Amino acid sequence: MSRTSPPRLPPGQTASTEELLGHLRYRLQPPARSSNRAARLPEPVRDTTLQPGGWLEPVLRQYGPGMPFPPLRKRRSRAHLWLLAVTVLIVAGGGFYWRELRAAYADAYPGEPDKREALRACSLENPTFIRFLPDERSACYERIAARLSGTSAASSEDRSSGP
């Protein structure tokens, strides 16, 4: 297979489709006539350099030929080692204190519907509410209980003063 470069065209002139197709770097082989009738694959592209011409030349002039990928660093940085150490410590701590973590999760996301609704209402009222802090949870339960007791007393008075 001969290696010919595409013809150089004057600026502003483009090559026809036939001319561009004529300069492809590979060709399809016809199927081999063998007993198993296996088809041959096309030859791989050996030359991957761009040969600008026609519409590609102004694009390469404007944007450049492109940058290769940066080489991979062979040595790990200290930040990666610190991140790995912290991750190992967190996972080990979670493994050693799994009962405490489970209890904290159960307190933050209770199974009782009244407490769940109270925590949801507090988080909607106050965007800085943190349900994992026990003091904030107890204050939330007290506020909601006071509000519900005031509402229930008012609703019972409304029922008694009816016609």
Supply angle C-alpha 126, 128, 130, rounded to 5.
Answer: 105
DSSP for 81-142 reads HHHHHHHHHHHHHHHHTHHHHHHHHHHHS-SSHHHHHHHHHHHHH-TT--TTSHHHHHHHHH
**What is the pLDDT tens value at each position of the chain, 163 positions in all?**
445 555 566 666 666 666 655 555 444 445 455 555 555 666 766 666 656 567 767 766 666 656 555 555 666 678 888 999 999 999 999 899 999 989 999 999 999 999 999 999 999 999 999 999 999 999 999 999 888 887 765 555 555 555 5
pLDDT at position 25 is 44
pLDDT at position 27 is 45
Structure tokens at 98: 């799994």
